[in-house]
Amino acid sequence: MNSLENIVSLCKRRGFIFPGSDVYGGMAGTWDYGPLGIMLKKKIMDAWWGYFVEQRDNMYGVDAAIIMNPKTWVASGHTATFADPLVECKECKSRFRADKIADGISESVTTEQFLATHTKCPVCGKENWGPIRKFNMMFKTHVGAVDDDSSIAYLRPETAQGIFTNYKNVIDTIYPNLPFGIAQQGKAFRNEISPRDFILRDRECTQMEIEYFVHPDTWQENFEKLLSENHHFLEKIMGLSKDKLHDYEVPADDRAHYSKRTVDFMFDYPNGQEELMGLAYRTDFDLANIERESGKSMEYRDKVTGETFIPHVIEPSIGVERLFLAILSNSYIEEEIDGNKRIVLKLPENLAPHKFCVSPLLKNKPELVAKAKEVYDQLRIKYTYVTWDDSGNIGKRYRKQDEIGTPKCIVVDFDTLEDNTVTVRDRDTTKQIRVDIADL
């Protein structure tokens, strides 16, 4: 069964993802990527960067600092409004996000509305609640040697503001024409009240965001264009099933404070439907606020018409962890082939950590090992993503390579020494064919 527990267990067993600070008993809401996990994560991030930045003439990248001037978060509205409704059980002192434990209420729920839901404490089962308090999710820190209010700074809760604060620098150095986009990938930090569902809701996540600057009159067509390009990326490049992806037109009451239109891309995760990414029309909210807070003009001057205005912004924003989990749950399959049960990750070939696995049929036969090494070295010249496996018996190796999603296993046996052919086994069908080494 494709349950979240099975995916978590595979991730730990095969070295994709470990609990953060595992050796000390963990750290809630944090996860570490192991040798295979980082390979998959990097491929996801590189594919996104390739498709949205490198293959386009009007996209530019930045890599901004994580700790930014605190004025950033005043201008963006995060200091005032980036808060979740926190409720405490008076009996057992457990704390929860009110909108996550009661049905049919939103993030802006009041104490009265929450109490009217007759929700019981998920920990002790009692119904004795304190008032709803707004809990700001930004992680605070102090910069420099002075530990008082004057030195407070925050770890960025979104990568977007590192883009907006560099908009002027990009305009003044690259002189782009509208529409153009600025992209960033990097860590974002949120002190989530209840991190949950493995890597779905973390306290430290990796965002991939684009701020796409457009003429205000053209926001709708650009919104539709980005909507379909993001579907293309998720379905054709990340290989997600079309029928597991759902567009959700977010109603005005539930939209972030800066948005005039938002479409959330929902994905059918093992524990239910959750937001995978968001596409938001942010108007000129951010640039106008930065102009006010910094006193510097954020206006753009059209080179042909001379028209001067603050561009409007469409923002596609996706968390790498949510995409990682979507890809894993989309490709995790338990099946029976010829009476044998197996777990297989049917990852798209462009994402699989290893493209090929080379092994000698028997590892105690030096002539087989030497020939297999030759094949391995030959493939390594062409492809980076080749792995070597001579552990256990051949059945165990296939089982391991299936679980980590290696599309092709190449086995050198005694026939190879005679006729220079090898067995190539296909991950998805388990069918084996003989191939001449020169044709690999």
Chain residues that interact with ligand GAP, rule: CB under 6 A:
158, 160, 190, 192, 201-202, 205, 207, 209, 275-278, 315, 317-319, 321-322
Q: How far is CA 181 from the centre of its chain?
A: 20
DSSP codes joined into one string, 369-392: HHHHHHHHHHHHHH-S-EEE--SS
Q: Angle at the Cα of 259 (from 253 to 263), degrees rounded to 5? A: 80
Distance CA 400, CA 415 (A): 24
Q: Select 59 or 276, whichever has its Cβ closest to ligand GAP.
A: 276
Distance CA 424, CA 435 (A): 7
Q: Select 66 or 435, whichever has its Cβ closest to ligand GAP.
A: 66
DSSP codes joined into one string, 21-83: TGGGT--TT-EEE-HHHHHHHHHHHHHHHIIIIIT-TTEEE----SEE-THHHHHHSHHHH-E
Tell me the residue number closest to ligand GAP, measured at CB.
319
Residue 280 CB, nearest approach to ligand GAP (Å):
7
Residue 185 CB, nearest approach to ligand GAP (Å):
12
> In the Cβ-directed half-sphere of 124, how many Cα atoms lie within 13 Å?
13
Q: Which distant-in-sequence residues (6+ apart) come within 8 Å of 101 by Cβ?
A: 87, 119, 122
Residue 137 CB, nearest approach to ligand GAP (Å):
9
Residue 379 CB, nearest approach to ligand GAP (Å):
36
> In the Cβ-directed half-sphere of 351, how many Cα atoms lie within 13 Å?
27
> How many C-beta atoms lie closer than 10 Å to residue 404's C-beta?
23
Q: Select 82 or 356, whichever has its Cβ closest to ligand GAP.
A: 82
Residue 406 CB, nearest approach to ligand GAP (Å):
28
Q: Are strands 408-412 and 356-360 parallel, antiparallel or unpaired?
A: parallel
With CA atoms as reference, report the closest residue to 276 among 232, 246, 242.
Answer: 246
Q: Select 234 or 375, whichever has its Cβ closest to ligand GAP.
A: 234
Residue 132 CB, nearest approach to ligand GAP (Å):
20
Q: Select 321 or 403, whichever has its Cβ closest to ligand GAP.
A: 321
Please answer whether residues 290 and 298 qualify as being in contact, where contact means their C-beta atoms are separated by less than 8 angstroms.
yes
Tell me the two tokens of residue 434. Answer: 């003989």
Q: Select 196 or 363, whichever has its Cβ closest to ligand GAP.
A: 196
Q: Are strands 152-155 and 140-142 parallel, antiparallel or unpaired?
A: antiparallel
Distance CA 436, CA 407 (A): 18
Distance CA 131, CA 377 (A): 65
Q: Select 62 or 318, whichever has its Cβ closest to ligand GAP.
A: 318
Tell me the two tokens of residue 218. Answer: 């053209």
Residue 205 CB, nearest approach to ligand GAP (Å):
4
Q: Select 207 or 401, whichever has its Cβ closest to ligand GAP.
A: 207
Q: Select 186 or 360, whichever has its Cβ closest to ligand GAP.
A: 186
Residue 348 CB, nearest approach to ligand GAP (Å):
20
Residue 326 CB, nearest approach to ligand GAP (Å):
10
Q: Select 158 or 403, whichever has its Cβ closest to ligand GAP.
A: 158
With CA atoms as reference, report the closest residue to 48 among 362, 439, 350.
Answer: 350
Q: Select 94 or 317, whichever has its Cβ closest to ligand GAP.
A: 317
Q: Are strands 386-388 and 17-19 parallel, antiparallel or unpaired?
A: unpaired
Tokens 């926001």 sit at which residue? 219
